[in-house]
Structure 1
Amino acid sequence: MYFALFMVAILLVTGFIWLLDSLVLKKKRPVGAAEPVAVEYAKSFFPVIFVVFFVRSFIVEPFKIPSGSMMPTLLAGDYILVNKFTYGLRVPILNNTFFEIKHPTRGDVFVFHYPPEPSVDYIKRVVGLPGDKIRYQDKRLTINGKFLDVQSVGDYAYVKPGLNMVTAKQYREQLGNVAHDILINEWVNSYDSDAIGAKFANDEEITVPAGHYLAMGDNRDDSSDSRVWGFVPEKNLVGKAFFIWMNFDQGSRIGNSIH
């Protein structure tokens, strides 16, 4: 969000200088006189900044994965692309939808403004849609009264921050039309008493409210998600992740689609 504000500010400044020169200053300069440096830079940078701003706001935006909460689908260090128009065109910064296209579906990997701090972007998987009734008991998801199909894949070893080696169980989960892998660990997480995670632990069924989504990380026991901080409002949506374009440590991941 801060980067978008910065882009808007630079766009307005360079555009204003260019317009001011075209309408006023240029007419007052002697014939053949050189353009002021500020005008020259503004005319050079404005078109470039405008194109970058337009592409990032309405077409595609790059993000870097900062943590392992979406393992094994996404790894820390993955650079991904997010489709900005999948969920509708939105006013930059304000994030209000002005042209609706479609809504998130179960299984989408989506980027959104973190509800407790909207200046921060998070990435998780859409688990619950508005109106869905969901349970998460014994580390199994039930949506609208039906257990999700889950098949064991094997063990998955990874290193947590602090160089701690963790071995998790890997499963293939069918979430809507999307088959994806999840990680399950042996430990039990604790939640605040009013958190969704605490309700799940008490075998309570929760209903996703209208205009909101339940988000969870694929690394189920090592993810701060809706179980901790609540539902994702529609107004916080940024876009759908679809492509890994760079990973400096694992080149084989470059070009992978995100499912």
Structure 2
Amino acid sequence: MDFDFSAILLALTVVFGVVWGVDRLFFYQGRKARFAAAGEDYRDPAPVDWARSLFPVIFVVLLLRSFVAEPFRIPSGSMMPTLDVGDFILVNKFAYGLRLPAFNNKVVSTGEPRRGDVVVFRFPGYICQDQDGSIVRSGDMTCADPHAPVPNQNWIKRVIGMPGDTIEVHDSQIVINGKPVVDTEIGPFKGNAARLEDNELLYYNATLWSEQLGSVKHLIARMPSRGPTPPIPNARVPSVVPPNCYIMMGDDRENSEDSRWWGCLPEQNLVGRAFMIWFSWKGMHTGAVDFHRIGTIIH
């Protein structure tokens, strides 16, 4: 999504608060006296009444979404099999620090990402070089237009590399600080061929693997026949992760546009840690509500 719902909530909170506050400071007493003099029951003008009624509701929603938990919907299959298209998830907004709504500036530090965390973040854009040789972030993957606007989108991936780590990635093989990531094959992916997302995994004979990242054990999907993916290091990703940056990858390893394409994720782009699936919708003709996924804790 390219619009910022937090920015909309913030704007509405400010507008309703200003309308209500200005009226109470400058107009309320005089208007109340006029109604009393006329012997009529007092009532606020419609705009003021709306502002007075909606301000506390919008304000509380803004606080909850900005500092406690925010719902998101999974739009693509890049995190399958952990997260499926149509999963509705909750994201812990204070896991990595309290940030101002809309501006995303951290005001209180409460923790840092850990290897294996599933993280929602603001897409940082592709690393490009402009005409004077400066490194910039662009919305153009080819870098033909290094100053193309970066879409205002929330993405979700898993933390693979931490600041200071030495990372090597060749297809689905990951080596961190000289040690290969431990993974074990489980078996072929079994899904519903009527669903587009499942059909791709079935078409490319995907296999499921159990992967251990630090203390986190989770599932990944592999589709080697789908084609090669960029290695790490590459032109956009050095072998050593820079300070305040993270290497992110999707669990559907051959079907995820992640740090291998656009570089490391700056710390200031963090939104929060995904922790639970609260609803899952497979589609009207391909399973409808997936009840067994509801309440699943995300690892």
TM-score (norm 2): 0.80
Decide which of 50, 55, 65 is 1:46's aligned counterpart: 55
Q: Structure 2 stretches of 5 or more lacking a match?
A: 126-149, 282-287
The equivalent of 1:72 in structure 2 is 81
The equivalent of 1:241 in structure 2 is 274
Distance 2:174 2:258 in 1: 15
The equivalent of 1:84 in structure 2 is 93
Q: Match of 1:18, as an amino acid?
A: W
Give the 3 Å change call, closer, same or farther, for CA 27–176 of structure 1 in structure 2. Answer: same
Q: Structure 1 stretches of 5 or more lacking a match?
A: 192-196
Q: Deviations over 1:121-171 (max 9, x none)?
A: 000000000011111125211100001111111111444459554331111
Percent identity for Structure 1 against Structure 2: 43
TM-score (norm 1): 0.92
Deviation for aligned residue 1:118: 5.5
Deviation for aligned residue 1:13: 1.0
Counterpart contact for 1:135–1:205, Cα < 8 Å: no
Distance 2:224 2:181 in 1: 20
Counterpart contact for 2:118–2:159, Cα < 8 Å: yes
Decide which of 4, 13, 16 is 2:15's aligned counterpart: 13
Q: How does 1:83-122 map to 2 (within 5 A)?
A: 83-116=92-125, 117=150, 119-122=152-155
Q: Match of 2:220, as an amino acid?
A: I
The higher radius of gyration belongs to 2
Q: Higher strand fraction: Structure 1 or Structure 2?
A: 1
SS of 1:187's partner is: helix
Q: How does 1:112-191 map to 2 (within 5 A)?
A: 112-116=121-125, 117=150, 119-137=152-170, 139-158=172-191, 159-160=195-196, 164=200, 165-166=202-203, 167-187=205-225, 189=227
Give the 3 Å change call, closer, same or farther, for CA 138–56 of structure 1 in structure 2. Answer: closer
Counterpart contact for 2:165–2:176, Cα < 8 Å: yes
Deviation for aligned residue 1:5: 1.4
Q: Which runs of 4+ in 1 moved over 6 A?
A: none
Give the 3 Å change call, closer, same or farther, for CA 241–138 of structure 1 in structure 2. Answer: closer
SS of 1:8's partner is: helix
Q: Deviations over 1:43-77 (max 9, x none)?
A: 11000000000000001000000011000100000
Q: Deviations over 1:206-253 (max 9, x none)?
A: 111101000000000010100011110000000000000011331211
Q: Which moved more, 1:25-34 or 1:81-90?
A: 25-34
Compute the RMSD of aligned alpha carbons: 2.0
Aligned positions, number: 253
SS of 1:11's partner is: helix
Deviation for aligned residue 1:3: 1.1
Counterpart contact for 2:161–2:241, Cα < 8 Å: yes
Distance 2:97 2:198 in 1: 40
Counterpart contact for 2:167–2:232, Cα < 8 Å: no
Distance 2:238 2:124 in 1: 22
Distance 2:198 2:156 in 1: 23
Deviation for aligned residue 1:186: 2.0
